[in-house]
Structure 1
Amino acid sequence: MRNALILAALVSVLTACAGGSLREAPAPLPEERPQLADLRIDWWQMLEERYTEMPFSRIAPLVTERGILTASPLGEVALLSESGRFIWRRQLAEQITAPLAADERQMVIMTGNGDVKLFDWNGRELWSSAISALATEAPLLLEDRLIVQTMDGRVMALERNTGRPLWVYQDAEPELTITGTARPLVVDDLVVTGLANGKLVGLSLADGSPAWEYRIARAQGKTDVSRLVDVDASVTRVGDYLLAAGYQGDMLVLDAASGQVLASQPLSTYRAVVPGQDYWYAVNDQSHVVALDPRSLAVVWTQDQFTYRRLSQVLPWKDALAVSDADGYVHLLDAQTGEWLATRQVDWTGAHTAPVALGDDYILQQGNSSRIKRLSFRRPNEAR
Structure 2
Amino acid sequence: MRRRAARTPATDGFASMPRLQGAERAASRRKRTPGARSQAAPAAIGRRRLNVMPSRRASGLVRRAVLIGFVGLAATACSGGKSASPTQTAPAPTLTTATTTASTTSSAVSDSSASDWPLFGYTAARANSGPTATRITAADVGRLRRQRVLLDGTVDSSPIYLHAVRVRGVVHDVFLVTTTYGRTEAIDASNGRVLWRYTPAGYPSWAGTAQITTATPAADPGRKWIYAASPDGRIQKLSVGDGHLAWRTRITLLPSREKIASALNLWHGHVIATTGGYIGDAPPYQGHVALLAASNGRLLRVWNSLCSNRHRLISPSSCASSDSAIWGRAGAVVDTATGGLLVATGNGGWNGRTNWGDSTVYLSADASRVLGSWTPTDETALRSNDLDLGSTSPVVLGGGYIAQGGKDGKIRLLSLRKLSPAGRTGGERQTISTPGATDLFTAPAVWHADGRTWLFVADNAGLAAWTLGGGRLRAAWSTHTAGTSPVVAGGLLYVYDPNGGLGIYLPRSGKKLSTLAAAGGHWNSAIVADGRIALPEGDANQHALSGVLDIYRLR
**TM-score normalized by structure 2?**
0.54
2:504 corresponds to 1:332: yes
Deviation at 1:78, TM superposition (A): 2.5
2:468 corresponds to 1:365: no
Counterpart of 2:44 in 1: which secondary structure?
A: helix
- The residue identity in structure 1 corresponding to 2:244 is R
- The residue identity in structure 2 corresponding to 1:146 is V
Contact 1:135–1:149 (CA<8 Å) still a contact in 2?
yes
Counterpart of 1:297 in 2: which secondary structure?
A: strand
Which ranges in structure 1 are unaligned for 5 or more consecutive residues? 17-35, 378-383
Deviation at 1:286, TM superposition (A): 4.9
Alignment match of 2:160 (pick from 58, 62, 67): 62
Change beyond 3 A, Cα 1:175–1:41:
same
Matches within 5 A, 1:1-384: 8=39, 10-13=41-44, 38-39=141-142, 41-48=144-151, 50=152, 58-65=156-163, 66=165, 67-86=174-193, 88-93=195-200, 94=203, 97=213, 98-103=215-220, 104-121=223-240, 122-132=242-252, 133-151=258-276, 152-172=286-306, 180=328, 182-187=330-335, 188-196=338-346, 197-215=357-375, 218-219=378-379, 224-225=384-385, 227-247=386-406, 248=408, 249-255=410-416, 263-268=429-434, 269-276=440-447, 277=449, 278=452, 280-283=454-457, 285-295=459-469, 296-303=472-479, 305-306=480-481, 309=482, 311-347=483-519, 349-359=520-530, 361-368=531-538, 370-375=547-552
Alignment partners' CA distance in 2, 1:254 and 1:170: 24
Select the structure that is richer in helix: 2
Contact 2:184–2:228 (CA<8 Å) still a contact in 1?
no
Name the stretch that deviates more: 58-67 or 85-94. Answer: 85-94
Cα RMSD of the aligned pairs, angstroms, is 3.7
Name the stretch that deviates more: 60-69 or 81-90. Answer: 81-90
Deviation at 1:126, TM superposition (A): 1.6
Which ranges in structure 2 are unaligned for 5 or more consecutive residues? 1-35, 48-138, 166-173, 253-257, 277-285, 307-320, 347-356, 421-426, 435-439, 539-545
Counterpart of 1:293 in 2: which secondary structure?
A: strand
Alignment partners' CA distance in 2, 1:223 and 1:150: 19
Contact 1:135–1:180 (CA<8 Å) still a contact in 2?
no
Alignment partners' CA distance in 2, 1:11 and 1:39: 43
Alignment partners' CA distance in 1, 2:377 and 2:458: 14
Alignment partners' CA distance in 2, 1:251 and 1:217: 12
Deviation at 1:37, TM superposition (A): 8.8
Deviation at 1:367, TM superposition (A): 0.9
Instruction: Spell out, residue by residue over 1:153-175, the C-alpha distance to the aligned partner (whole angstroms, 9 max, x if none).
Output: 11121233333322211224775
Deviation at 1:263, TM superposition (A): 4.1
Contact 1:76–1:89 (CA<8 Å) still a contact in 2?
no
Contact 1:176–1:224 (CA<8 Å) still a contact in 2?
no
- The residue identity in structure 1 corresponding to 2:42 is V
Q: Give the structure 1 partner of residue 120 of structure 2.
A: none
Select the structure that is richer in strand: 1
Alignment partners' CA distance in 2, 1:345 and 1:337: 23
Change beyond 3 A, Cα 1:297–1:284:
same
Alignment partners' CA distance in 1, 2:444 and 2:182: 31
Instruction: Spell out, residue by residue over 1:284-340, the C-alpha distance to the aligned partner (whole angstroms, 9 max, x if none).
Output: 55532111121141112221x22xx4x211122445422112223212333233234
Alignment partners' CA distance in 1, 2:145 and 2:377: 42
- The residue identity in structure 2 corresponding to 1:355 is A
- The residue identity in structure 2 corresponding to 1:60 is S
Alignment partners' CA distance in 2, 1:238 and 1:198: 21
Name the stretch that deviates more: 201-210 or 76-85. Answer: 76-85
Counterpart of 1:63 in 2: which secondary structure?
A: strand
Name the stretch that deviates more: 234-243 or 175-184. Answer: 175-184
Change beyond 3 A, Cα 1:89–1:185:
same
**Percent of residue pairs identical:** 18
Contact 1:332–1:342 (CA<8 Å) still a contact in 2?
yes
Instruction: Spell out, residue by residue over 1:221-258, the C-alpha distance to the aligned partner (whole angstroms, 9 max, x if none).
Output: 59943x51222323344444453312124332434x88
**TM-score normalized by structure 1?**
0.75
Change beyond 3 A, Cα 1:218–1:106:
farther
Alignment partners' CA distance in 2, 1:7 and 1:318: 46
Larger radius of gyration: 2
- The residue identity in structure 1 corresponding to 2:463 is V
Counterpart of 1:338 in 2: which secondary structure?
A: coil
Contact 1:198–1:218 (CA<8 Å) still a contact in 2?
no
Q: Give the structure 2 partner of residue 380 of structure 1.
A: none
Change beyond 3 A, Cα 1:80–1:326:
same
Counterpart of 2:502 in 1: which secondary structure?
A: strand
